[in-house]
Structure 1
Amino acid sequence: MPLPEPAPRRYLHTRAVTYRGYLREDGLWDIEAELADTKTYGFTRSDGSEKPAGEPIHHMLIRLTIDESMTIRAIATAMDHAPFGECQQGNDPMQQMVGATLGPGWRQAIEKALGGVRGCTHLRELLFNMATAAYQAVFPWRERERRLAGIRPGEAREPPYHLGRCIAWDTDGAVVARHYPQFVGWQRVRMPKKNPPSST
């Protein structure tokens, strides 16, 4: 169903973001992200140079290599286009994410390592959604492999990660009842917060 008809307007800007997932021959996974910002008009940059219409203002790429536990084993970044030469300083801090896991606490881990002036805003934005892109690459493939081995979703012994994390996958809802009836009513266990040690 399309969006409602818009008011009269002028097209000015495109941000194109693409995520791709690859299963490597060594059993690891590559998740790649690409971001490009372009304008429909040319303009004069702050340094006096001209930026033609359609030439990227930002063009940035990230490759995460992850293992079966969704842990980052390697990370590579590139900035083919950035507004300032100093923007390239945002590449090296990304290495701090090696060893992090794409799962609960992912956004907090990014903010802790790369938040504010510790990292590049646009690389950080790309990184946020790489967890869901990785999930879309890895888990449906695993599910396909289980199906080919004759294992059906209704036979799963552990609830898949997405149960209870989306309105459609409400464990009291119809989708779970159809696909994972054994987990109807299941509740995700929340770990209690640790109390700080008493000073007395």
Structure 2
Amino acid sequence: MIERLNIRPARFPLALPPPTPRKLSHTRTVVYQGFDREDGLWDIEAALTDVKTYDFRVSTERPFPAQDPIHGLKIRVTLNDHMVIQDVATSMDDIPHPECAGAPHGMHKLIGCTMGPGWRKVINEHVGGTQGCTHLREMLFNMATAAYQTLPSGQWQRLELAGMPQPTVTKPPFHLGQCHSWAYDSPTVQRAYPMFYKPKAADVTGN
């Protein structure tokens, strides 16, 4: 059983302060999902929707009534256990310009690439600038985080269901050293991955 820790830093508030009087103008919703496929691969899906609370019109284009999606975009990336892309599918259900329909034409170039360190560079090399779509690139970049949330835990679950032992961790997971809580000298790493914990120099010397 995993113990839930109730740790709240006293110096920093965890809630937003009350806002000044205002009204909602625009909502962007982005949803990421990870799927464990029956064939042993993994699907990571992203869906992005933009809506406004008022009738809106892009110059020279059709009007968008309030609450009608201006953007309704979806991406499905299929990965193997090593986070190598096996397939990419894109849906442009709602777009502000008819030319937007051609934006995904280069997405297949990502097949064979790996979601991992340097992922943003990989995206820009294959579908950057006018080769792709700003919103699709934003979705792709954050799909790597969703993939990391899906694959390692899903792989462990597969082993557990099969009655097989969990593999020994021999190298630092990718997320170590990437944020405040997972700094190598943090108590989080000391608890979760003591073999990779690196105390600060002051802690070692006792100063």
Structure 2 length as normaliser, TM-score? 0.82
Alignment-mate amino acid for residue 59 of structure 1: G
SS in structure 2 opposite 1:21? strand
SS in structure 2 opposite 1:129? helix
Structure 1 residues 65-119: Cα deviation after superposition (integer angstroms, max 9, x where no partner): 0001101000000100001110011111111111110001100011111111111
Partner of 2:6: none
Alignment-mate amino acid for residue 36 of structure 2: L
Within 1, Cα distance between the matches of 2:29 and 2:118? 26
The answer to whether the 8 A contact 2:88-2:107 is kept is yes
Partner of 2:38: 25
Identity %: 47
Q: 2:92 aligns with which of 79, 90, 93?
A: 79
Q: 1:64 aligns with which of 77, 99, 103?
A: 77
Alignment-mate amino acid for residue 136 of structure 1: Q
Distance 1:145 1:166, change over 3 A: farther
Q: 1:105 aligns with which of 118, 133, 143?
A: 118
Unmatched 5+ stretches in structure 2: 1-13, 200-207
Structure 1 residues 160-171: aligned runs within 5 Å: 160-171=173-184
Within 1, Cα distance between the matches of 2:43 and 2:172? 25
Within 1, Cα distance between the matches of 2:29 and 2:98? 22
Q: C-alpha displacement at 1:156, in angstroms?
A: 2.4
Structure 1 length as normaliser, TM-score? 0.85
Q: 2:137 aligns with which of 124, 135, 148?
A: 124
Partner of 2:51: 38
Partner of 2:22: 9
The answer to whether the 8 A contact 2:36-2:154 is kept is no
Q: 2:192 aligns with which of 176, 179, 195?
A: 179
Partner of 1:158: 171
Within 1, Cα distance between the matches of 2:79 and 2:166? 25
Distance 1:16 1:132, change over 3 A: same
SS in structure 2 opposite 1:182? helix
Name the count of aligned residue pairs.
184
Within 2, Cα distance between the matches of 1:184 and 1:48? 56
